[in-house]
Structure 1
Amino acid sequence: MPMSQASPSNPYVVGQLWACQGRHQDEQPTLLINRIDQHPLGGGNIYHVTLDGLKVRHPGVPGGLMTELPHAPVTDQTLQRSQLRLLGQQAPDPAYLKGYGQWREAFDAGNAGSFGVSVATILEIIERQLNGTPLDQP
């Protein structure tokens, strides 16, 4: 079956744009599925998504806020935990390819994985890493 065809066992397809729950009311992220790879262990999928509509504090960007994450590798669990609402279909965002290439190289070497937590939790993890805040601090 082509990657762009939904099946009863997998409702997610390349090109779907989803609204998802952010960390607070001002953050209204969207998630675009750019590519779906079969996970070699466990038979699951890894979705290569672009997250947009973010408000992630980042001291290294103008204005101090990162509004887009071009590539994030996520699993079915992320999609199930993120309160998704389908907005429509669009072409994949080619900006994900650079991050995907870096991830793929690291993944093939056994040095990268994928997220299985909600989009809101992913954004919190990334913001804490960018700002040097340990994950175990409130």
Structure 2
Amino acid sequence: MLRTVDNGKFQRGQVWKYHARPYEDGSTLTVVKTEVHDRLGAIVHIHLQGLRIRTPRHSIGMTSVIGHLPCSEESITQSVTQLVQENAPLPDFEEGYQQWRDAFDAGGAGIWTVPIAEMVSALESIISAQDQEK
């Protein structure tokens, strides 16, 4: 069972710098939601901006954001380097969160447990493979 919490290390509206991929050193993450799960522990939902993910799905051939990623608190702790802002306006994440939540509740989704840069690289590989299949 998931419960929303607002009293952990990471808070809604925080913007953090993190150990990004070398060509995305200006990328930041925004904490959009925090929850606790009985078995998985703290889950930090983030929005990433300032990325350079290749994808032919966009007219310029790349995207600069990932709207929603559910992560273990440990993966965020390992990745963040500097708190940039608190109480920032939240970006649009609700649709991505709801898709994840529906799949999670049905037993078909989990959370990321690796550093953020690895998540981004893995997602870029998945997007690239899907685009090549089309």
Q: What TM-score do you get using the length of structure 2 for normalisation? A: 0.86
In 1: Cα distance, 2:11 partner to 2:71 partner: 13
The secondary structure found in structure 2 opposite 1:62 is coil
Question: What is the root-mean-square deviation of aligned Cα atoms in Å?
Answer: 1.8
Residue 60, structure 1, aligned to residue 57, structure 2: yes
Aligned to 2:16: 18
Alignment partner of 2:45 out of 32, 43, 48: 48
Structure 1 stretches of 4+ moved >6 Å: none
Q: What amino acid maps onto 2:22 in structure 1?
A: H
> Is the contact between residue 5 and residue 36 of structure 2 (CA under 8 Å) also seen in structure 1?
no
Equivalents in 1 of 2:36, 2:80: separation in Å? 23
Aligned partner of 1:99: which letter? G
- CA distance change for structure 1 residues 39 and 84 in 2, over 3 Å: closer, same or farther? farther
**Which residue number corresponds to residue 84 of structure 1?**
81
Identity across matched positions, percent: 28
Counting helix residues as a fraction of each chain, which structure ranks higher? 2
**Which amino acid is 2:10 matched to?**
Y
Q: TM-score with structure 1 length normalisation?
A: 0.83
1: CA distance between counterparts of 2:83 and 2:28?
Answer: 10
User: What amino acid maps onto 2:12 in structure 1?
Assistant: V
Q: What runs of 5+ residues in structure 1 fail to find an aligned partner? A: 134-138
- Structure 1 SS opposite 2:19: coil
